[in-house]
Amino acid sequence: MEKTKRAPLGQNTVKSKLFYALLLFIPTLQFIVFYIVVHVNSFTLAFKVFPDGTARAWEWDKAFSNFTVWFNADKVRFLSAISVSLRAYLISLIVGVPLGLFFSYYLFKRMPGAKFFRVILFMPSIISAAVLGVIYKMVTDNVVRDLLDQWFGLSVNFWGDVRYRFGTIMFFSVFVSFGTSVLMYTNKMTSIPPEMLESAQLDGASGIKEFWYIVLPQTYSIFTVFMIQSIAGCFSNQYSVMMLLDGGYSEPTDATPMGYMLWHGVEKQAGNVALMTPYAALGVMITVVIVPVTFLARYLLNRFGWKEE
Amino acid sequence: MKRKHDKFSPLTVIMLIVLVLYCLTLFGMLLWAVMQIFKDSYEFPYNRIWFPKLKDFTLVNFSGMIEYADMEWLVTMKGSRSVPITEIIFNSIVYSVGGAFIHVLVTCIVAYLASKYKYWYSRILYGTVIIVMIIPVVGSQASEIEILTKLGLYNTRYSFVVLKAGFVGIYFLVFYEMFRSIPNAYSEAAMIDGANDWYVMVRIYMPLIRNVFMTVFLITFITFWNDYQMPLLYMPDYPTLSYFLFKLQTSSKAIELADGRFVDLSYPTVKMAATVVLMTPILIIFITLHDKLMGNLTIGGVKG
What are A56-68's pLDDT values in tens digits? Answer: 788 888 889 999 9
> What is the domain partition of chain A in residue ranges?
17-60, 74-304
Is a pLDDT exceeding 80 seen at residue A6? Answer: no
Using alpha carbons, select from B175, B181, B183, B185 the residue that is nearest to residue B210: B175
- pLDDT band of residue A267 (cuts 50, 70, 90) is confident
Kindly indicate the confidence band of residue A143, based on its pLDDT and cuts at 50, 70 and 90. very high
Asked if A187 and A218 count as a contact pair (C-beta separation under 8 A), the reply is no
pLDDT at B153: 92
pLDDT tens digits, residue range A232-262?
A: 889 989 888 888 886 656 788 899 999 999 9
Q: For residue A201, what pLDDT is reported?
A: 83
Asked whether the beta carbons of residue A33 and residue B147 sit closer than 8 angstroms, the reply is yes
Q: Choose which CATH entry (1.10.3720.10, 3.30.450.20, 1.10.10.1100, 1.10.287.610) describes domain A74-304.
A: 1.10.3720.10
Could you say which DSSP state residue A143 is in? I
* Distance (Å, whole) CA A200 – CA A214: 8
Full 3-state SS string of chain B: CCCCCCCCCHHHHHHHHHHHHHHHHHHHHHHHHHHHCCCCCCCCCCCCCCCCCHHHCCCHHHHHHHHHHHCCCEEECCEEECCCHHHHHHHHHHHHHHHHHHHHHHHHHHHHHHHHCCCHHHHHHHHHHHHHHHCCCCCCHHHHHHHHHHCCCCCCCCHHHHHCCCCCCHHHHHHHHHHHHCCCHHHHHHHHCCCCHHHHHHHHHHHHCHHHHHHHHHHHHHHHHHCCHHHHHHCCCCCCHHHHHHHHCCCCCEEECCCCCEEECCCHHHHHHHHHHHHHHHHHHHHHHHHHHHHCCCCCCCCC
Instruction: Answer with the residue of higher pLDDT: A115 or A180.
Output: A115
pLDDT at B297: 54
Give B231→chain A minimum CA distance, Å.
11
Query: Of A118-122, A272-276, B296-300, which has the strongest mean pLDDT?
Result: A118-122
Tally Cβ neighbours within 10 Å of residue B221.
Answer: 21
Per-residue pLDDT tens digits of chain B, which is 304 residues long: 445 556 778 888 999 999 999 999 999 999 999 999 999 888 888 888 888 888 888 999 999 999 988 888 888 777 888 899 999 999 999 999 999 999 999 999 999 999 999 899 999 999 999 999 888 888 888 899 999 999 999 999 888 888 889 999 889 998 999 999 999 888 888 888 888 899 999 999 999 999 889 989 998 999 999 998 889 889 989 999 999 998 888 888 888 888 888 888 888 999 999 999 999 999 999 989 888 777 655 544 444 3
- Cα separations (Å) of B294 from A180, B20, B215? 9, 21, 9
Contact partners, residue B107, CB within 8 Å, separation at least 6: B166, B167, B169, B171, B172, B175, B216
Residues 6+ apart with CB under 8 A from B302: B171, B174, B212, B215, B216, B219, B296
pLDDT at B295: 67
> Which of the two residues, A288 and A4, has the higher pLDDT score?
A288
CB contact under 8 A, A103 and B19: yes
CA distances from B36 to A132, B23, B129, B237, B285 (A): 15, 20, 46, 30, 24
- Domain B60-304 fold: MetI-like fold (1.10.3720)
Cα-atom radius of gyration of chain A, to the nearest Å?
A: 25
Q: Which of B61, B120, B137 to mutate to test the interface with A (most CBs of A within 10 A)?
A: B137
Are B139 and A279 in contact (CB < 8 Å)? yes
pLDDT of residue A268: 84
C-beta atoms of B139 and A30 within 8 A = no
Give the per-residue pLDDT at B4. 55
Residues of B in contact with A142 (CB under 8 A): 48-49, 268
User: Under an 8 A CB cutoff, do A243 and B147 touch?
Assistant: no
Q: Name the residue facing A207 among B11, B118, B128 (closest C-beta).
A: B11
User: pLDDT > 90: what percent of chain A?
Assistant: 51
Q: Among A141-150, A196-205, A212-221, B104-113, whose mean pLDDT is lowest?
A: A196-205
Q: Residue A229 pLDDT more than 90?
A: no
Neighbouring C-beta atoms of residue A58, cutoff 10 Å: 18
Interface test with B, best of A95, A128, A190, A191 (most B CBs within 10 A): A128
**Cβ atoms < 10 Å from Cβ of B224:** 23
Return the closest-CA partner of residue B278 out of A303, A2, A117, A130. Answer: A130
* Average pLDDT of the residues in A166-185: 91
First to last CA, chain B: 23
Q: Are B283 and B34 within 8 A, CB to CB?
A: no
Interface predicted TM-score of the whole assembly (ipTM), two decimals? 0.86
Q: Is the pLDDT of residue A1 over 80?
A: no
* pLDDT, position B225: 94
Give the pLDDT score at A71. Answer: 94
How confident is the model at residue A258, as a pLDDT? 94
Q: Does B164 touch chain A (CB under 8 A)?
A: no
| Res. A281 pLDDT band, cuts 50 70 90 | very high
H helices of A61-178, where? 65-68, 75-91, 97-108, 114-126, 129-139, 145-152, 162-175
Model pLDDT, residue B138: 83
- Best to test chain A binding among B8, B140, B144 (most A CBs inside 10 Å): B140
Residues of A in contact with B242 (CB under 8 A): 128, 130
